[in-house]
């Protein structure tokens, strides 16, 4: 174990990527980066991370922001539940801990949205605590390094992975070590065509010794995404520079908390009715968009509707085109709007 630690740290010092969140030990900034990096590529996260911290540089600033401002800054990054939980967790930090992220691991894990992985990342990177982390990259590295043959995602495998990670992390620079494990999985020990000739721990890798690198880790079979047909309506009022688009919030379970155009399965008229709007609906769609989520593939027929009317509320109101940049809307809604105004 000591040999693995030192080899990984030496490799990380030389080969680790220069990423913005690696220039800080501010626990709040580390927290933001780790939440954004969940299920999202590093290249995608970088500009969002920088803009988010420019908009909300401190826990206090984020806690005082309303949800629309937070989701607007997050808009396009996806998995919006992460943003809402981060917002809730930071508000609790401000209310309970005076705006300082707690050093105590149990206190961190009690915060909304902070699970074992996020707590360990904050603890090791920001507070230099010997706390393990296990994510997809670490899972792949450990499964190959230690030849773990049980299926990923089972309770037995998860328990084994966290136990092995906990045995590896004690020692100097636990935060850098955890990042080295993740970096190895991201850059060298990749899911396909791993670069074993560039790996710093080939001598310790049991999977490589047995020629089983491509076979491990043993994954669960993924179900194909469910196909869902939707109708979306871009309902407008006014013309030219005065044109406004009606958006609603809360009627789309896949994008809860975000503003979106009226949408329903297969039926444009039903979409308007459910949104509480009256409008002149076009008889045929002006376009079609596809949007793939983790478990669903959405095919959306896009309709126009004009002279739209409805009572304004906290969950239904018209926006100017400029206003759309100030609120949280999903990538799907952006695609729908683009298809409408392009068509």
Catalytic positions are 34
Give CA–CA dist 280/265, Å, rounded: 19
- Number of alpha carbons in the 13 Å side-chain half-sphere of residue 297: 5
Could you give the 3-state DSSP secondary structure of residue 232? strand
- Determine the distance from the C-alpha atom of residue 223 to the mean position of all C-alpha atoms in its chain, rounded to a whole number: 21
Give CA–CA dist 287/290, Å, rounded: 10
- Determine the distance from the C-alpha atom of residue 162 to the mean position of all C-alpha atoms in its chain, rounded to a whole number: 22
CB-based contacts of 137, cutoff 8 Å, min separation 6: 181, 182, 183, 184, 185, 186, 189
Give CA–CA dist 217/137, Å, rounded: 11
Phi, psi (rounded to 5 degrees) for 138: -65, -40
Structure tokens at 43: 């290249």
Give CA–CA dist 185/187, Å, rounded: 6
Structure tokens at 33: 């980066």
- Number of alpha carbons in the 13 Å side-chain half-sphere of residue 175: 20
Contact in structure between 288 and 309 (CB atoms under 8 Å): no
Give CA–CA dist 135/36, Å, rounded: 13
Residue 58: closest CA among 85, 4, 89, 94? 94
**Element at 88 (helix H, strand E):** helix 81-97
């Amino acid at each position: 174990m000591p040999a693995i630690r030192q080899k990984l740290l030496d490799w990380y010092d030389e080969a680790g990527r220069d990423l913005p969140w690696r220039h800080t030990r501010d626990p709040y900034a580390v927290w933001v980066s780790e939440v954004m990096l969940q299920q999202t590529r590093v290249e995608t996260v970088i500009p969002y991370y920088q803009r988010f911290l420019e908009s909300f540089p401190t826990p206090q600033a984020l806690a005082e922001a309303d949800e629309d401002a937070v989701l607007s800054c997050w808009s396009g990054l996806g998995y919006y539940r992460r943003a809402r939980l981060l917002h809730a967790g930071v508000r609790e930090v401000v209310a309970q801990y005076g705006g300082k992220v707690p050093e105590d691991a149990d206190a961190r894990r009690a915060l909304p949205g902070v699970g074992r992985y996020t707590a360990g990342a904050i603890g090791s990177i920001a507070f230099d605590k010997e706390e393990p982390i296990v994510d997809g990259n670490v899972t792949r590295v450990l499964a190959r390094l230690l030849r773990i043959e049980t299926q990923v995602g089972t309770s037995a495998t998860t328990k084994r992975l966290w136990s092995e990670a906990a045995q590896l992390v004690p020692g100097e620079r636990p935060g850098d070590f955890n990042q080295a494990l993740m970096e190895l999985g991201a850059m060298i020990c990749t899911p396909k065509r791993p670069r074993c000739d560039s790996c710093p721990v080939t001598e310790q890798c049991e999977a490589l010794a047995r020629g089983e690198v491509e076979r491990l880790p043993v994954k669960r079979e993924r179900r194909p995404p469910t196909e869902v047909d939707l109708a979306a309506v871009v309902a407008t009022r006014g013309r030219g520079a005065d044109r406004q688009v009606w958006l609603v919030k809360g009627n789309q379970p896949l994008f809860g908390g975000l503003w979106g155009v009226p949408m329903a399965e297969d039926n444009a008229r039903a979409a308007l009715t459910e949104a509480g709007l009256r409008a002149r609906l076009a008889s045929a769609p002006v376009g079609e968009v596809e949007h793939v989520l983790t478990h669903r593939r959405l095919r959306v027929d896009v309709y126009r509707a004009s002279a739209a009317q409805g009572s304004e509320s906290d969950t239904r109101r018209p926006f100017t085109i400029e206003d759309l940049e100030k609120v949280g809307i999903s990538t799907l809604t952006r695609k729908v709007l683009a298809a409408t105004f392009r068509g």
